[in-house]
Amino acid sequence: MELTKLGNQDAEADGVLERIEVDTSYGSSALTVELYCTEFTCRCPVTKQPDWADLRIKYQAKNYVVESKSIKLYLETYRDVGIFHEHLAQKILKDLVTVIAPLWCEVEAIFNTRGGIAITATASWVAVEG
């Protein structure tokens, strides 16, 4: 996969995740990556009101890691998307697993309180070896 966003000042939010190969020359047998986004925004699919959240993404890489600029631009595409909180965690998880095929992955969406209720949705996935 060719990197098209990193170093490209004209790269736009297009919802495409890019990956880079894990560098095994350092000898680490297990690489765990944690990503935090404290400024995530999407919209309620019914009222179209904005929702804000912190996102925590954690995974153990197998052969690939997600390229950080591509995930930043990927997350920007949700700004005007109407999506339920629970579905958001599942969608991001599915997209990441499809691109980087980690050993395991967890996506936690911690939404700010709205209407007196705060919602945290966590979606997780573990590879089936065999």
**81 belongs to a structural domain:** yes
Tell me, yes or no, whether 13 lies in a domain. Answer: no
- Is residue 90, in this structure, part of any structural domain at all? yes
Contact by Cβ (8 Å): 59, 106: yes
Cβ atoms within 10 Å of 2's Cβ, excluding its own: 4
Total count of domains within the chain? 1
Range of the domain at 56: 29-126
The per-residue pLDDT for range 5-50, each reduced to its tens digit, is 887 888 888 889 999 999 877 776 789 999 999 999 999 999 999 9
pTM over 0.85? The answer is yes
Active-site pick, 51, 54, 95, 105: 51
Residue 44 among the catalytic residues: yes
Instruction: Read off the amino acid at residue 96.
Output: L
Give the residue from 75, 73, 10 showing the smallest Cα distance to 40. 75
CATH number at residue 98: 3.30.1130.10
What's the rounded Cα separation, in Å, for the pair 25 and 61?
Answer: 15
Q: Is residue 51 flagged as an active site residue?
A: yes
Confirm whether 33 is domain-assigned. yes
- pLDDT tens readout for residues 85-107: 999 999 999 999 999 999 999 99
Assess if residue 6 is contained within a domain.
no
Look up residue 18 and give its two tokens: 């890019």
Q: Which of 37, 44, 54, 95 is catalytic?
A: 44
